[in-house]
Structures are given as structure tokens and as C-alpha cells.
Amino acid sequence: MAEGIQAAPAPQAQPTSWAGRFFDSDVWASFKRSKLTMAAAFLTAVFMAAAVLAGVLSPQDPFDPAQLELMNSRLPPLWNAEGQAPFMLGTDEQGRDILSAILYGLRISLAVGFLGVAFSATLGIALGLIAGYVGGTVDAFIMRVADVQLTFPAILIALLVDGVVKAVLGGQLDEMMTLSVLVFSIGLSFWVQYARTVRGSVMVEKNKDYIAAARLIGLPAPVIMFRHVLPNVLGPVLVIATINLALAIITEATLSFLGTGMPETMPSLGTLIRIGNNYLFSGEWWIVAFPGIALALLVLAINLLGDWLRDALNPRLR
Amino acid sequence: MTERSYVEVNDLRRVFDVSKPWLNRVLEGGEKQYLKAVDGVSFSIAKGETFALVGESGSGKSTVARMVVGLLPPTSGEVMIDGVSMSSHAALGERQRLRRRIQMIFQDPYASLNPRWQVDRIVAEPIRAFRLIESEKAITDRVGELLSLVGLHPADGRKYPHEFSGGQRQRIAIARALASNAEFIVCDEPTSALDVSVQAQILNLMRDLQDRLGLTYLFISHNLAVVRHMASRIGVMYLGRIVEISNGRELFSQPKHPYTRMLLDAVPDVGMTGRQRIPVKGEIPNPISPPSGCTFNPRCPFANDRCRTEVPPLLGGVACHAIHEGRLAIDAAA
């Protein structure tokens, strides 16, 4: 049985490694064409590097009260006449260096963003996969819950979940618990979009013959869902996840700004903006401006990346 | 037939509920609607034989194929393969063992291979699912062997399906069907999505494999030329029923049922130039409200009152009152 029925030509050498195929792809080509996208990617990379290296880069640990001096409170930025040496972007009312607080705050904002997206994507993908593949009553139930949730704004759901969880847990929560509650409430408010997208793709894929071929050899439904269906529906999810990363960061900032998010002892960008907001009318503009600019740039860069990814992966726009 | 048949299909029926949703029915009125896709089909296939089902679109051929392999549960009736029933729950364990021996080749080679998987993983999946070979090295060897068996290069296994043409993809699908050492392969229009030149290659490959490995085929097609090339026995389907079953050559030399004659007359043939033809009259009726009696009666030039009221049984390989009554002679000269 070793010899073929007709001699087939030896296949040509192809880049087979993952990286090789990526640099060969249309997506990479479209990335190189767009200067704006490259700038956005660069900016995002800078923000992420800054968040990761916050401990090395910042002159002060803003979460450590022992390092804060009230003498240094409300100092203007360095280029101002009253500015002082290590505090490049000035300090807040507790003598906290704004630059350090932004770097550490970025870390929290990005962590909440990434974890929130991971949580909502996992939840949404799993529910969408089950709804689309199983169909019938299960599908109807999951999608009606999704429809109801869609009638509320995401921020309202996040506030609601945040409030309920905090009431259930009770008492004073430490910073890490607050962060987990934030991730949980953001995750619960964003799963619908993933579920609807995944369900739609699953309903297309499940009727294709490669699924029938897998059913034919008796594979159980969960195996077919994860091995065969899931890899074929993840394309659109990547785009939603990127755009939702920006949304999750904004939601966290909003919650913190409203006072239900990160506490002042461990401020995120949103908390810093809320603190700064109190001093805006007394002329200390730097406390609110610099965290605000950082947040706006971060969200803008991620959004630009998401827009590009959506177009690059859309076959109709190529 | 003297030998015990390998596949036995008894009075297979499948009804689809095509009613509007409940709320629409309540608000707009209207009954539940059912579509009889397959309405009492029986046939048997001997080991090593190719049995073909032909018929127009919507005649229920593919539904029969899906029920035979167990992808679709029948509404009633039974499929027995090598003495094991595909539908009863009692035979669950045996059915699981039988699954290894039944495979299917699908119509659209662009949809039947997972686009995210490399070819060697696709071909190896049945081997891994049935735990036929344990060591990874042996699986790789076996996949290479299968790929060369269907005329591909073993190194092609590293590629993805989109790097292949339609004919090559169908070869991969055949390799996957053979991976579990299947004996019975259901082919649902395996060549209708392919170029004519490639069709012949795939059909010859399938015949060659049948000779080498002793495969049994259930071959679904609407293409009479393909069926003539492949089948040892042929069943002609019309609106969910088999109207004629006969041996391959006989069907083409001595078609009995008026529908078969109409189909054969519609095939362009240089030798038939100048001969009087029965033109193809009308279209296949709506299967939700099929005609009473013999479902072919509105299109049949020989239909009488009995044809319009009474369903003809399949006797002597044909389901037609006119033949049974001797009103219509079997035309040997056709």
C-alpha cells in the first residue's frame, strides 16, 4: 500500500512555523501599510511596558504611605517655578508623585481591563458556544437573558453587580478584593456581545460537513465544540476583545471616578481623576490633567488597534 | 440475492416538521406542516457492491444517506449494517464498534475538512478517536501511507486544506474515510462539486480502492453518467420513494418506470440523434403536499385513475401500476 496511485509532485517548501506564517500573512501586510496603526501599536506597547516596569521607572511607591511626605503635597509640575526635583508631573494632596501614581494606576487599569475582558470573553464564548451548538430551549433561554441584559447600559450593570457583591461580601474589602469585584462586575456586563457573535458563527459552522464527519466517528458534543467549532469562531472574538479592552478600561475608570472602584490608597487612573477633580477649581490642574491624558491616550491607542484589526480581518474590505 | 446482504434498509421514513413557530401559528392561523423527505425506502446492499441512489434534487437521497450512517435518526424504519441495528438503543455498544467500519464522503470538499487543522491531523482523527494505533510515530507513518494511497504526497500532511484544489481535498476526505479501516463508505454526491476532468480521477480512485480493499459503497448522485460508471445496482428515487431498483446495466438498457425512462431520455447522447423522446414534463411537486397515489402521476403520460388514488408497491424492481397491469410494455430496445 506504500506506493501512490499516481505520483504526486513533492509539495513546495512553505513557512510552517507559527511566526513564519504570521509574517507572511495579509494581516501583517495591512499592519505595515497603516502608519496610524503602527503608531497606535507603539503607544500601546509603551503603556504596557510602563505598566509592567512601574516599579523600576517611578521615583516613589505611591501605595506605600511611609514614602509620602505631606510637606510635598500639591506641588506643581517640574517646569513650573514652584516645582521640586523628583516630582516631574507634580504631586497630589497627599504628597504623592503624579507620575508614579499614573504608572502604578496604569498597571491597575490594564490589569482590570485584561482580566475583565478575559472573564467576559470566557463566559460569553462558553455560553454562545453552548447556545449555538445545543440550540432549542437552552439557546432560547441564554439568548433571552442576553437580550434583557442588552436593554441596560453596561455601566449600569457593572454598578449594580459591584454594589450587590460588595453588600454580600460586607465590611471593608482590601484592595485586591476590590479589584476582583471590579473584574467580576465588568466581566458580567460585557459577555453578551461575545455570546451573540459566537452563537451566530457556531450556527453557521455546525451545519458544515466537517462537523458531521466528527459526529460520524462518535466524538462527544463537548469535544466537537472545543476541538472543531471553537477554533473556527474565534476570529471575530479577537476583534471584539480588543475593542472591549478599551471599553473595560473606561468602565473601570468610570466606576473608580464614581467612587465605587479602586480606593484612594491604591488609586487607578479613574481614582486619580476623581481626586484631582476636587482640586481643579483651586488651580491644581495637574492632578486631574495628567491621569486624564494618560487614560485618553491609552483608550485611543487600543481603539485604533481594534478598528484596524476589524478591517484587516474582514474579507469584504480587503 | 443468495448471499447475506451487508446493509439492510427496511421501510425507512423521515418526516421533518416545517411548521411556522408556535406564536406565528397562533396569531396568523395555519396548521402544523410536515415534509415527508423519505417515505418508506427499502433496499439491501451486498458486501463489496456499489449501490447507487439517483434522483432529482429534493428526492430524499441525501436524507437516506444521513440516516444510513446514523447522522440523522429515522422517524420509523430500520437500518441494519452487518446484522447490527443503527437505531435501537439496545445495540449501543455494538453500534459504537460499528462506527469505525462506516464512513462518509461528503459533497462539498470545501466544507468537509476543518479549515484550521493540518491535513495529517484531519486524517489521523479517526485513528485517534478509535484508538487504533497508540504510538505517535506509527500514526504519522499510517497517515503518510493513507495519503500516498489516495495519490497525495506524505509531506502534504503538513499543509492546510486551503492549500489544495477541490479534487485534492476530496482525496484527503477519502484518506480520512479509510483511516479507520472502514468497510462501508457512504458517498453523498462525492464528485458533483468537482470539475469534469477531476471527477473521473476521483471516481477511478474510488473504484481502484474498492478493488484493493473490498469496500462497499452506497453512492448518492444525480448524475446518471457517474452512476453508470460506478454502480453495480441502482435505485431510482422520486419524492422520497424508490420507484425502480435494478442492476446497473439493465437500468440503462431496459428502463421500466416512466420516470426512469424520462430521466434517461434527458441524458444527451449522440447515438440517440433523431429518435423520438419523451420530453421532461413538469417539475418535481412540492413535497409538503405531494400528489395522491403514485407521486409521479401528474408528470406521467400513462397515468390513469388508479395511479391517482393508489400508491403502487415496489414489485419486481419497479413501483408502477402501468407496468404491473401490463399496460406499459418493458421497452428492451431503448
Q: Which of A5, A228, A234 to mutate to test the interface with B (most CBs of B within 10 A)?
A: A5
The most distant pair of C-alpha atoms in chain A lies apart, rounded to whole Å, by 88
Interchain CB distance below 8 Å, A9 and B106? no
The one-letter amino acid at A152: F
Distance from the A26 Cα atom to the nearest Cα atom in chain B, whole angstroms: 15
The pLDDT value given to residue B103: 93
Interchain CB distance below 8 Å, A212 and B99? no
The pLDDT value given to residue B140: 93
Interchain CB distance below 8 Å, B112 and A216? no
**Closest residue of B to A7, CA-based?**
B151
CA distances from A21 to A25, A309, A317, B8 (A): 6, 17, 21, 49
Q: Answer for the pair B295, B243: CB distance below 8 angstroms, yes or no.
A: no
The angle, 0 to 180 degrees and rounded to 10, between the axes of the packed helices A98-134 and A269-279 is: 130
A-chain residues near B114 (CB < 8 A): 210, 228, 231-232
The pLDDT value given to residue B65: 92
Q: Are strands B34-45 and B216-221 parallel, antiparallel or unpaired?
A: unpaired
The pLDDT value given to residue A281: 87
A-chain residues near B130 (CB < 8 A): 217
Q: Which of B62, B110, B148 to mutate to test the interface with A (most CBs of A within 10 A)?
A: B148
What is the number of CB-based contacts under 8 A between chain A and chain B?
A: 83
Does the beta carbon of A238 lie under 8 angstroms from any beta carbon of chain B?
A: no
Interchain CB distance below 8 Å, B152 and A214? no
Report the C-alpha gap between A273 and A199 in whole angstroms: 39
The pLDDT value given to residue A3: 42
Q: Is residue B303 part of a domain?
A: no
Q: Which of A24, A210, A224, A225 to mutate to test the interface with B (most CBs of B within 10 A)?
A: A210
Q: Answer for the pair A158, A185: CB distance below 8 angstroms, yes or no.
A: yes
Question: Exposed, middle or buried: residue A138 (CB in 10 Å: 0-12, 13-18, 19+)?
Answer: middle
Does the beta carbon of A64 lie under 8 angstroms from any beta carbon of chain B?
A: no
CATH number of the domain residue B70 falls in: 3.40.50.300
Distance from the A143 Cα atom to the nearest Cα atom in chain B, whole angstroms: 17
Across-strand partners of B44? B8
Which of A208, A216, A232 lies at the smallest CB-CB distance from B69? A216
H-state helical runs in chain B? 22-28, 61-69, 92-99, 119-129, 136-149, 166-179, 196-213, 224-230, 248-253, 258-266, 305-309, 321-325
Report the C-alpha gap between A93 and A135 in whole angstroms: 57
Interchain CB distance below 8 Å, A16 and B158? yes
Between residues A20 and A29, the one the model is more confident about: A29
A-chain residues near B148 (CB < 8 A): 1-4, 8
CA distances from A314 to A307, B181, B228 (A): 11, 41, 45
Q: Is residue B209 part of a domain?
A: yes
Distance from the A3 Cα atom to the nearest Cα atom in chain B, whole angstroms: 6
Question: Is the model's pLDDT at A75 over the cut of 80?
Answer: no
Q: Is residue B116 part of a domain?
A: no
- Strands ordered across the beta sheet of B216-221: B102-105, B184-188, B216-221, B50-54, B233-238, B241-247
Interchain CB distance below 8 Å, B108 and A6? no
What sign has the CA pseudo-torsion A14, A16, A20, A26?
A: positive
Residue length of chain B? 334
Q: Answer for the pair B78, B70: CB distance below 8 angstroms, yes or no.
A: no
B-chain residues near A2 (CB < 8 A): 145, 148
Q: Answer for the pair B144, B191: CB distance below 8 angstroms, yes or no.
A: no
Which of B107, B112, B151 lies at the smallest CB-CB distance from A210? B112
Domains contained in chain B, number:
1
Residue length of chain A? 318
Across-strand partners of B218? B51, B186
Distance from the A99 Cα atom to the nearest Cα atom in chain B, whole angstroms: 46
Q: Is residue B196 part of a domain?
A: yes
Q: What is the pLDDT along chain B (334 residues), one digit of tens a residue?
A: 445 688 999 999 999 988 888 888 888 877 888 888 999 899 999 999 999 999 888 888 999 999 999 888 899 998 988 888 877 666 677 877 888 899 999 999 989 999 989 999 999 999 999 888 889 999 999 999 999 999 999 999 999 998 899 999 999 999 999 999 999 999 999 988 888 889 999 999 999 999 999 999 999 998 888 898 889 999 999 999 999 999 888 888 888 888 888 888 777 766 666 666 666 667 778 888 888 888 888 888 888 888 888 889 888 888 988 888 888 877 644 4
Which of B99, B111, B153 lies at the smallest CB-CB distance from A209? B111
Q: Is residue B67 part of a domain?
A: yes
CA distances from B52 to B59, B75, B101, B217, B257 (A): 14, 23, 19, 8, 17
The pLDDT value given to residue A317: 61
The pLDDT value given to residue B277: 63
The pLDDT value given to residue A42: 94
Does the beta carbon of A16 lie under 8 angstroms from any beta carbon of chain B?
A: yes
Interchain CB distance below 8 Å, B71 and A14? no
Residues A27-51, mean pLDDT to the nearest whole number: 90
Interchain CB distance below 8 Å, A210 and B125? no
The pLDDT value given to residue A196: 94
CA distances from B195 to B112, B166, B172, B198, B217 (A): 17, 8, 17, 5, 22
Q: Answer for the pair A158, A189: CB distance below 8 angstroms, yes or no.
A: yes
Interchain CB distance below 8 Å, A217 and B180? yes
Which of B113, B125, B155 lies at the smallest CB-CB distance from A217? B125
Interchain CB distance below 8 Å, B106 and A228? no
Interchain CB distance below 8 Å, A6 and B151? yes
Q: How would residue A128 be classed by pLDDT, with cut points 50, 70 and 90?
A: very high
Domain A36-62+88-317 belongs in CATH node 1.20.140.10:
no
Q: Which of B125, B178, B187 to mutate to test the interface with A (most CBs of A within 10 A)?
A: B125
The pLDDT value given to residue B187: 93
CA distances from B313 to B11, B54, B252, B262, B284 (A): 12, 19, 22, 20, 20
Buried b (16+ CB within 10 A) or exposed e, B82-104: beebbbeeebeeebeebbbbbbb
Does the beta carbon of A228 lie under 8 angstroms from any beta carbon of chain B?
A: yes
Report the C-alpha gap between A251 and A244 in whole angstroms: 10
Identify the CA nearest to A241 among candidates A152, A127, A147, A116.
A116
Q: Which residues of B lie inside 8 Å of A (Cβ-Cβ)?
A: 66, 69-71, 96, 99-100, 102-104, 106-108, 111-116, 125-126, 129-130, 145, 148-153, 155-156, 158-159, 163, 173, 176, 180, 205, 208, 212
Give residue A263's Cα distance to chain centre: 21
The pLDDT value given to residue A7: 46
Q: Is residue B61 part of a domain?
A: yes
The pLDDT value given to residue A47: 93
**Closest residue of A to B147, CA-based?**
A4
φ, ψ dihedrals at B301, nearest 5°: -75, -15
Domain ranges in chain A are: 36-62+88-317
Interchain CB distance below 8 Å, A213 and B176? yes
Three-state secondary structure of B62-92: HHHHHHHHCCCCCCEEEEEECCEECCCHHHH
Interchain CB distance below 8 Å, B155 and A11? yes
Interchain CB distance below 8 Å, B208 and A2? no
Out of A265-274, A286-295, B257-266, least confident range = B257-266
Range of the domain at B226: 7-101+183-256
Q: Answer for the pair A99, A59: CB distance below 8 angstroms, yes or no.
A: yes
